[in-house]
Amino acid sequence: MTRHMLGLHGVTAESLGMIMERAWRIRQNRQQYREKLKGKLIAALFFEPSTRTKLSFELAAHWLGAEFIHFPLETSSRVKGESLLDTILTVTAMGVDALIIRHSNSGVLEWLKEKVDVPLINAGDGAHEHPTQALLDLHTMYHYFDSLKDIEVVMVGDIQHSRVVRSSIWALKTLGARITLVGPPSLLPREFEQFGISISWRLDEVLPKADIVYLLRIQQERQQKGLLPSLADYTRQFGLTAGRLSLLKPGVLVMHPGPVNVGVEITAEALQLLRSWPRERAQVCIEHQVASGVVVRAALLDYLLGEESHEITA
Ligand code: CP
SS (H, E, C) 204-220: HHHHHHCCEEEECCCCC
- Any ligand 1 atom below 6 A from CB of 258: yes
pLDDT value of residue 76: 84
- Any ligand 1 atom below 6 A from CB of 256: no
- For residue 313, tell me if it sits in a domain: no
Q: Whose CA is nearest to atom 4 of ligand 1?
A: 52
Residues serving a catalytic function are: 52-53, 80, 102, 130
The 3-state DSSP class for residue 176 equals coil
Does residue 149 sit in the same domain as residue 50?
A: no
> Quick one: which atom of ligand 1 is closest to the CA of 53?
8
pLDDT in tens, 264-305: 999 999 999 999 999 999 999 999 999 999 999 999 999 999
pLDDT value of residue 81: 87
The answer to whether 64 touches 301, Cβ cutoff 8 Å, is yes
**Among the listed residues 61, 65, 111, the one whose alpha carbon sits nearest the alpha carbon of residue 84:** 111
The parent domain of residue 181 ranges over 131-286
Does residue 277 sit in the same domain as residue 151?
A: yes
**Among the listed residues 285, 9, 289, 292, the one whose alpha carbon sits nearest the alpha carbon of residue 169:** 9
The answer to whether 100 touches 43, Cβ cutoff 8 Å, is yes
Q: Whose CA is nearest to atom 6 of ligand 1?
A: 50
Does residue 200 sit in the same domain as residue 112?
A: no
pLDDT value of residue 230: 87
> Quick one: which atom of ligand 1 is closest to the CA of 130?
3
The answer to whether 237 touches 182, Cβ cutoff 8 Å, is no
- For residue 310, tell me if it sits in a domain: no
- Any ligand 1 atom below 6 A from CB of 309: no
- Any ligand 1 atom below 6 A from CB of 260: no
- Any ligand 1 atom below 6 A from CB of 122: no
- For residue 119, tell me if it sits in a domain: yes
- Any ligand 1 atom below 6 A from CB of 257: yes
Q: How many domains does the chain have?
A: 2
**Among the listed residues 42, 78, 87, 79, the one whose alpha carbon sits nearest the alpha carbon of residue 60:** 42
Distance 257 CA to ligand 1 centre (A): 7
Does residue 175 sit in the same domain as residue 113?
A: no
- Any ligand 1 atom below 6 A from CB of 55: no
- For residue 24, tell me if it sits in a domain: yes
| DSSP of 88-118 | HHHHHHT--SEEEEEESSTTHHHHHTTT--S
Rounded to whole angstroms, the maximal C-alpha distance in the chain is 57
Q: Beta strands 152-156 and 178-182: pairing type?
A: parallel
Q: Report how far apart, in Å, the C-alpha atoms of 249 and of each of 79, 240, 262 are.
A: 51, 14, 22
CA distance 206 to 110: 35
The answer to whether 77 touches 104, Cβ cutoff 8 Å, is no
Does residue 146 sit in the same domain as residue 216?
A: yes
Distance 262 CA to ligand 1 centre (A): 16
- For residue 4, tell me if it sits in a domain: no
**Among the listed residues 164, 161, 158, the one whose alpha carbon sits nearest the alpha carbon of residue 239:** 158
> Quick one: which atom of ligand 1 is closest to the CA of 54?
8
Distance 276 CA to ligand 1 centre (A): 26
Provide the whole-model pTM: 0.95
Does residue 122 sit in the same domain as residue 239?
A: no
CA distance 180 to 192: 10
The answer to whether 146 touches 176, Cβ cutoff 8 Å, is no
Does residue 93 sit in the same domain as residue 202?
A: no
- For residue 261, tell me if it sits in a domain: yes
DSSP state for residue 119 in the 8-state scheme: -
pLDDT value of residue 219: 78
Q: Whose CA is nearest to atom 5 of ligand 1?
A: 50
- For residue 2, tell me if it sits in a domain: no
Does residue 23 sit in the same domain as residue 156?
A: no
Domain of residue 175, CATH code: 3.40.50.1370
**Among the listed residues 172, 149, 142, the one whose alpha carbon sits nearest the alpha carbon of residue 299:** 142
Distance 5 CA to ligand 1 centre (A): 17
Distance 53 CA to ligand 1 centre (A): 5
pLDDT value of residue 74: 82
Distance 52 CA to ligand 1 centre (A): 5
Does residue 136 sit in the same domain as residue 282?
A: yes
Does residue 39 sit in the same domain as residue 140?
A: no
- Any ligand 1 atom below 6 A from CB of 50: yes
Does residue 137 sit in the same domain as residue 278?
A: yes
pLDDT value of residue 72: 83
Cis peptide leading into 259, omega within 30 of 0? Answer: yes
Residues of the chain with pLDDT under 50: 1
- For residue 160, tell me if it sits in a domain: yes
**Adjacent-strand bridge partners of 153:** 179, 212
- Any ligand 1 atom below 6 A from CB of 174: no
